[in-house]
């Protein structure tokens, strides 16, 4: 039991050390201009950091365990939260998260 716990701890640390932050900005100053494109290339444990802007898209985490956050994670200023928007245009769910269950966040 102790060996299994130790192995899990080592794997967790290894995953954290290999985690990447993928940045998204509408103006093209960062590698991704859509949140979905960053999620597609992300690996489990990565972070998708979204710069301020209004992102007209519906995102799907495609079963990946990634962290999605705004610049607020680096700069705790509430104006950043107000200016970083995922706008699904009320077409469907704006975010789909799958981890055994399908969960959606609807605008309605």
Q: How many CA atoms lie within 13 A of 59 on its CB side?
A: 21
10 pLDDT band, cuts 50/70/90, is low
Q: pLDDT higher for 14 or 106? A: 14
In sequence order, which residues have a C-beta less than 8 Å from that of residue 50 and are 6 or more positions away? Answer: 24, 25, 35, 68, 69, 70, 71, 84
> Does the pLDDT at position 103 exceed 50?
no
CB 57 within 8 A of CB 33: no
The lowest-confidence range among 34-38, 83-87, 89-93 is: 89-93
- Percentage of the chain beyond pLDDT 90 is 34
């Amino acid at each position: 039991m102790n060996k299994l716990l130790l192995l899990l701890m080592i794997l967790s640390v290894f995953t954290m050390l290999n985690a990447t932050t993928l940045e998204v900005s509408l103006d093209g100053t960062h590698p991704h201009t859509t949140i979905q494109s960053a999620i597609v290339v992300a690996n489990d444990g990565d972070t998708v950091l979204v710069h301020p802007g209004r992102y007209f898209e519906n995102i799907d985490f495609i079963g990946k365990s990634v962290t999605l956050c705004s610049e607020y994670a680096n700069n705790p200023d509430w104006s950043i939260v107000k200016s970083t928007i995922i706008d699904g245009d009320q077409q469907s769910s704006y975010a789909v998260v799958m981890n055994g269950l399908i969960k959606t966040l609807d605008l309605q």
